[in-house]
Amino acid sequence: MTGVAAIVGGGVIGGAWAARFLLNGWDVRLFDPDPESERKIGAVLANARRALPMLYDRALPQEGALIRAATVGAAVRDAGWVQESVPERLELKHRVLAEIEAAAPSDCVIGSSTSGFKPSELREGARHPARIVVAHPFNPVYLLPLIELVAGDDPDPGVVARAKGILEGIGMFPLHVRKEIDAHIADRFLEAVWREALWLVKDGIATTGGIDEAIRMGFGLRWAQMGLFETYRIAGGEGGMAHFLAQFGPCLSWPWTKLMDVPDLDDELIGKIAAQSDAQSGALSIRELERLRDDNLVAMMRALRARGAASGRVIAAHEATLPATDMAAVPMETVRRTVPVDWTDYNGHMNEGRYGQVFSDAADAVMIHLGADADYIARGLSYFTVETTVKYLVETHAGEPFRVETRILLGQGKKLKLFHEMKRASDGEILATCEQFLLHVSLETRRSCDPAPQVAARVEALSHAHREVGA
Amino acid sequence: MTGVAAIVGGGVIGGAWAARFLLNGWDVRLFDPDPESERKIGAVLANARRALPMLYDRALPQEGALIRAATVGAAVRDAGWVQESVPERLELKHRVLAEIEAAAPSDCVIGSSTSGFKPSELREGARHPARIVVAHPFNPVYLLPLIELVAGDDPDPGVVARAKGILEGIGMFPLHVRKEIDAHIADRFLEAVWREALWLVKDGIATTGGIDEAIRMGFGLRWAQMGLFETYRIAGGEGGMAHFLAQFGPCLSWPWTKLMDVPDLDDELIGKIAAQSDAQSGALSIRELERLRDDNLVAMMRALRARGAASGRVIAAHEATLPATDMAAVPMETVRRTVPVDWTDYNGHMNEGRYGQVFSDAADAVMIHLGADADYIARGLSYFTVETTVKYLVETHAGEPFRVETRILLGQGKKLKLFHEMKRASDGEILATCEQFLLHVSLETRRSCDPAPQVAARVEALSHAHREVGA
């Protein structure tokens, strides 16, 4: 499902919301009175266009149109979703929300990016309060899936369902927070850690760089894939969570838990932090740091995706909703995607080994099309690749969209021969070819055998069709 | 550098320390009076043997010998490193440290796994206090690199240097905490988040599962690769850290930062958390959760490694110290490693595409051996692969150690033909073969050309040697 998304307020957050919608095929109408906003949004969009497609093994849909609106009313008029991302001042939010309500269609959801305010606060004076919800995203919004969705203590189930559907449709993970609370959930944790970090820097225990290492070399890795409680459940061993609590609970009365004052963020502390941060990261510009962060995130999320875990599961689920390749075409379109950054090597081009993966994916698509799918494998039958020959014709680079066209050259009994052509999407130039010889096997005996009749029939029909055009 | 490591206390932490040392070629003498310790350590070792080798693109050294010692004295007698991991009771630690000091060599470092005590507390009554340091690891100790190394406010530089060298030698990241403080650094953050999480569960704002999602779908991903300050520096945009502080600083006086009491961890709250955790994760046993966690960590850390970032950089640096393959052998040994879990597919065996990677890595080893290395590429010359033919002979599974033997079949002018055999390490069975045809190219003109004389000479010499045995 796509439609029109209205983005009110186009800073780093609003711009990234716009990118999420655009790259998932929505049209976006954007309102921001800041004359600088066009440049700022351009920068966010460039980052998003580079990073987001690399998460997926399929191409994203055709990008939507971005239109700048002169007024809030013009932005929201036909919107299916309105996202408000103006500065964190309640009276400003009230004013903007009133303008949105005056012009938006009655069935559209109005999300606020607020990190601090509760729905009950945002809704003061609203005409249709139930459809105003907190939809709190996390930087970089075009990559991180989390949205804290807060619809009040007595939410309208229809609004929640509509909001969830739209957010999932653009690849996000809406976490419905069932009771409203200041700062929702995640920012409470961030705030608690931030407070502690300020003390450590102020007291000279650690530098900003040391603190970052203490996080990313240890528990940060745990939290990226399991979070807090599941990690501790494991620490409890066979005794599980209750055992862990019995062991760890007493720590809560230890002396080091009593340091809970708020440090004074005076000029001295600000200067100390800024200087340490310069020493730690100042050699790179913010653009370079963004690129580094996005590449790391893409690579880690793709790794989790391959494990079917955490944010990787969200990517896989979203990908399943993306446009499929055209398997009915002759030749078949077996792959359509972008080269992700983690596929390139020191020569600056796609690593040799990844071609094997591309053609293996192409063969997988053929398998599913033939009916030799997961169910078939569960029945103990599959095709194994016996030999492949790859020819590398033209260099391929990160971010390049491409497709693979596949023909069945031979389909006879247990033998299957495929011919793949990998083509640049923009001009159809052939980048590489692959001839692949497969044998049908029994997974029980691990020996070759004839395919099941319905698979054999499909192989025969397709190899006929492909032979005719392949000449 | 390897030697003898004495492990005193062999629970989950001590056992994993033992595994780190053993798998990096150290002999380990372990003392633990618990009759169950043998079984417990066996379980940790099994996990470590499966997970740790998968982090690296090279084989770990020959595993050291594990010997159970009857007394603390017998365990520490020849040790280069002693690691104390007994329960967190100071009088017990004092007793054990005294026994260690009485028998350990004078130049060995004595590390304590304590998460709470400061070196000054551990050292009370010690004979050689300066060499007793905190070396605080993080679960799973066999995978996460972080060690908080605390050597007191006035440390012995020799002890710190020796400790760092040994810890880095077993693949860890020792973070020297320069001022001692209760709970060091990371546990202060964990404690702060834990406290906040208890409130959220107690007040019914979120379940344990919801909290885990709030972490792993959002900031957990940021923290695994950049930590806190570098992430916020980016949020500050071009204005950098000072700008961020000016924006975010005021939040510290917002109402939601005042919730800093310690919740009462009574039976009701314990029951609530345990029940929610069962609902969230109870379908999997602790062993299954450990496997899940380790696979996720391995996959993410390997992804970071490919980016040269965060913990991935530690892996790469450690790997460079691992035994190299035997390139002087005929045929050349171009790869020696284990199949990592993220290389296997739904058939349960190594994915077709990964064979391409193995043989690409083998070719890279040949390139470096020929002198066509990074410097050579910087001069604008390189070999490009034009065609490869892979034959898949025997299935290969995760965790299987293997090696690749490579011969130069043809080395004539700009043409180079390699023949690789991938063999199971245990019995030498050939798993797959690859014939690879490469052309020498100028990276400037992107056209083929003859290699530089010294590379051409090496190619010729090797192809002669290989032809003689290849017949």
CATH number at residue A130: 3.40.50.720
d(CA B109, CA B89): 21
A183 touches chain B (CB under 8 A): yes
Does the beta carbon of B335 lie under 8 angstroms from any beta carbon of chain A?
no
A173 and A195 share one domain: no
Low-confidence ranges of chain A (pLDDT < 70): 238, 248-263, 265, 346-348, 469-471
**Which among B254, B306, B374 has CB closest to A342?**
B306
Please report which helix (H) or strand (E) contains residue B81, including its range: strand B81-84
- Find, among B157, B84, B71, the residue nearest to B115 by Cα: B84
* Contact flag B274-A245 (C-beta cutoff 8 Å): yes
Chain B residues inside the 8 Å CB shell of A230: 208, 212, 277, 280-281, 289
The pLDDT assigned to B448 comes to 93
Residue of chain A with shortest Cα separation from B385: A392
pLDDT at B258: 44
A82, A205: one domain: no
Strand partners for A81: A5, A109
Asked whether residue A322 is domain-assigned, the answer is: no
Contacts of A139 in chain B (CB under 8 A): 222, 231, 234-235
* In a domain? residue B223: yes
- Co-location of B10 and B158 in the same domain: yes
What is the distance in angstroms between the Cα of A135 and the nearest Cα belonging to chain B?
13
Which of B193, B296, B382 is facing A193, going by the closest CB pair?
Answer: B193
Boundary (domain end) residue, out of B226, B256, B283: B283
**Using an 8 Å Cβ cutoff, are A4 and A29 in contact?**
yes
pLDDT at position A217 is 95
How many angstroms away from the CA of B294 is the closest CA of chain A?
A: 10
Both A148 and A199 in a single domain?
no
Residue B167 · residue B147 · CB < 8 Å: yes
ipTM: 0.89
Specify the DSSP element, H or E, that contains A471: none
Interface of B with A in 108-147 (CB under 8 A): 116, 138-139, 144-146
- Predicted confidence at residue A248, as pLDDT, reads 67
DSSP code string of A257-318: G---PPP---HHHHHHHHHHHHHHHTTS-HHHHHHHHHHHHHHHHHHHHHHT-THHHHHHHH
Nearest by CB: A192 against B193, B209, B392: B193
Residues A153 and A205 in one domain: no
Q: What is the pLDDT, as a whole number, of residue A253? A: 53
Residues in chain A with CB shorter than 8 Å from the CB of B259 are 188
Q: For residue B314, is it within any domain?
A: no
Domain count, chain A: 3
Query: Would the CB atoms of A192 and B190 count as touching at under 8 Å?
Result: no
Q: Which amino acid is at B108?
A: C
pLDDT of residue A348: 65
Task: Name the domain boundary from B184, B207, B233.
Answer: B184
Single-letter amino acid code for the residue at A150: V
Best residue of A37, A54, A114, A189 to probe chain B, by most B CBs closer than 10 Å: A189
Distance from CA of A183 to the nearest CA of B (A): 7
Q: Report the residue from A224, A237, A262 with minimal CB separation from B221.
A: A224
Do B260 and B357 lie in one domain? The reply is no
- B386 domain residue, yes or no: yes
Domain end: A167, A184, A201, which one?
A184
| Residues A225, A146 share a domain | no
Does A273 contact B at CB distance below 8 Å? yes
> Would you say A339 and A348 are in contact if contact means Cβ atoms under 8 Å apart?
no
Return residues 156-175 of B near A (CB < 8 Å): 173, 175
- Name the closest residue on chain B to residue A345, using Cα atoms: B306
* CA-CA-CA-CA dihedral for B141, B144, B150, B156, to nearest 10: 90
Q: Give me the residue label for tokens 């980048």.
A: A431
Flag whether B308 is in a domain: no
Q: Both ends of chain A: CA-CA distance in Å?
A: 41
Residues A273, A177, single domain; the answer is no
Mutation target vs B (from A234, A305, A417, A435; most B CBs, 10 A cutoff): A234
CATH number at B233 reads: 1.10.1040.10
Q: Does A439 touch chain B (CB under 8 A)?
A: no
List of chain A residues whose C-beta atoms are within 8 Å of the C-beta of residue B12: 235, 237
Q: Are residues B272 and B376 in the same domain?
A: no
Sign of CA dihedral B20, B21, B24, B28: negative
In a domain, B466, yes or no: yes
pLDDT at A281: 84
Euclidean distance between CA atoms B317 and B321, whole angstroms: 7
> So what's the pLDDT on residue A397?
87
Element at A120 (helix H, strand E): helix A119-122
Rounded to 10°, the helix B240-248/A267-281 angle is 140
**Cβ of A225 under 8 Å from any chain B Cβ?**
yes
**Structural domain harbouring A382:** 332-470
- Can you read off the two tokens belonging to residue A193? 């850690």
Q: Return d(Cα B154, Cα B459) in angstroms, integer.
A: 57
> pLDDT tens per residue, chain B (471 residues)?
789 999 999 888 999 999 999 999 999 999 999 988 888 899 999 999 989 999 898 999 999 999 999 999 999 999 999 999 999 899 999 999 999 999 999 999 999 999 989 999 999 999 999 999 999 999 999 999 999 999 999 999 999 999 999 999 999 999 999 999 888 999 989 988 988 888 888 888 999 999 999 999 999 999 999 999 998 888 777 677 777 787 766 555 555 544 566 667 678 878 888 888 888 888 888 888 888 888 889 889 988 988 888 999 999 999 998 989 999 999 999 999 999 877 877 666 888 888 988 999 999 999 999 999 989 999 999 999 899 999 999 989 888 899 999 999 999 999 999 999 999 999 999 999 999 999 999 988 889 999 999 999 999 999 988 887 654
- pLDDT value, residue A471: 45
A299 lies in a domain? no
Nearest to A382 by CA among A423, A442, A427: A442
Assess if residue B117 is contained within a domain.
yes
Both A26 and A121 in one domain: the answer is: yes
- Partners of A148 in beta bridges: A136, A175
Residue of A nearest to B352 (CA): A360
Hey, is the C-beta of A378 within 8 angstroms of any chain B C-beta? no
CB contact under 8 A, B255 and A182: yes
Q: What is the pLDDT of residue B162?
A: 97
B442 at A interface, C-beta within 8 A: no
pLDDT of residue A263: 65
Residue A202 confidence (pLDDT): 87
Please provide residue A385's backbone torsions phi and psi, each rounded to the nearest 5 degrees: -80, 130
What pLDDT, on the 0 to 100 scale, is given for residue A72? 97
Please give the backbone phi and psi of residue A432, each rounded to the nearest 5 degrees, phi first. Answer: -160, 160
Predicted local confidence at residue B263, as pLDDT: 65
pLDDT given for residue A258 in this prediction: 44
What would the two tokens of residue B147 be?
């060690």
Tell me, yes or no, if B12 comes closer than 8 A to chain A by beta carbon.
Answer: yes
- The overall longest dimension of chain A from CA atoms, in Å, is 80
Single out the residue of B337, B3, B341, B17 nearest to residue B147, CA to CA: B17
pTM of the model: 0.88
Residue A407 is part of a domain; what is its CATH number? 3.10.129.10
Residue B230: partners with Cβ closer than 8 Å, 6 or more residues away: A208, A212, A277, A280, A281, A289
Indicate yes or no: CB of A221 within 8 angstroms of CB of B311.
Answer: yes
The reply to whether B35 and B16 lie within a common domain is yes
- In contact, B239 and A278? CB cutoff 8 Å: no
Chain A residues 18-57 with CB within 8 Å of chain B: none
Contact check, Cβ <8 Å, B146/A218: yes
Does residue B410 sit in the same domain as residue B455?
yes
Name the residue type at position B378.
A
Q: In this structure, are strands A4-8 and A27-31 parallel, antiparallel, or unpaired?
A: parallel
